[in-house]
C-alpha cells in the first residue's frame, strides 16, 4: 500500500470517554491527516484489538494505515502522558485555545 504525501512516525493517543488515555500507538500517519487535526484531536476509525497492531483510517476509510501499540521502551523518558492530572490539564488547555479562537 502506498500513502501519498510526506509520512512520518507519529504518536497517537486514543482517548477514553472520560478523556484519559486509553491506548497509545505508533504509526506513519499521512501528513495531511496529521495536520488536519488542528486542535490536536481528531476522529479516526480503528479496526482491530487495541492490544495488537491494527489499522486506522479517517472517517470514510481512505487513506488507511497500520498502527502498532507503543512499547514501554518507546515512551518518552519522564513522560507524564499517562498521569490523569496531566491529561486533564492538557484537555483544559486545548479547550481554552479552541474557545479563544472561536470567541
SS3 state of residue 59: coil
Q: Before 90, cis peptide (omega within 30)?
A: no
Helices (H) and strands (E) in the chain, counts: 2, 5
User: pLDDT truncated to tens, each residue of the chain (103 aa)?
Assistant: 555 655 578 888 888 888 888 889 999 988 888 888 877 788 899 999 888 999 999 999 899 999 999 887 777 765 544 556 556 666 666 676 666 667 6
SS3 state of residue 87: helix
Amino acid at each position: 500500500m502506498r500513502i501519498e504525501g510526506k509520512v512520518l512516525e507519529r504518536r497517537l493517543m486514543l482517548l477514553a470517554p472520560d478523556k484519559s488515555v486509553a491506548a497509545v500507538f505508533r504509526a506513519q500517519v499521512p501528513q495531511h491527516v496529521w495536520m488536519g487535526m488542528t486542535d490536536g484531536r481528531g476522529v479516526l476509525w480503528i479496526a482491530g484489538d487495541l492490544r495488537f497492531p491494527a489499522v486506522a483510517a479517517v472517517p470514510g476509510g481512505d487513506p488507511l494505515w497500520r498502527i502498532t501499540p507503543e512499547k514501554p521502551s518507546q515512551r518518552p523518558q519522564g513522560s507524564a502522558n499517562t498521569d490523569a492530572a496531566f491529561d486533564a490539564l492538557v484537555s483544559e488547555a486545548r479547550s481554552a485555545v479552541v474557545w479563544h479562537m472561536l470567541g
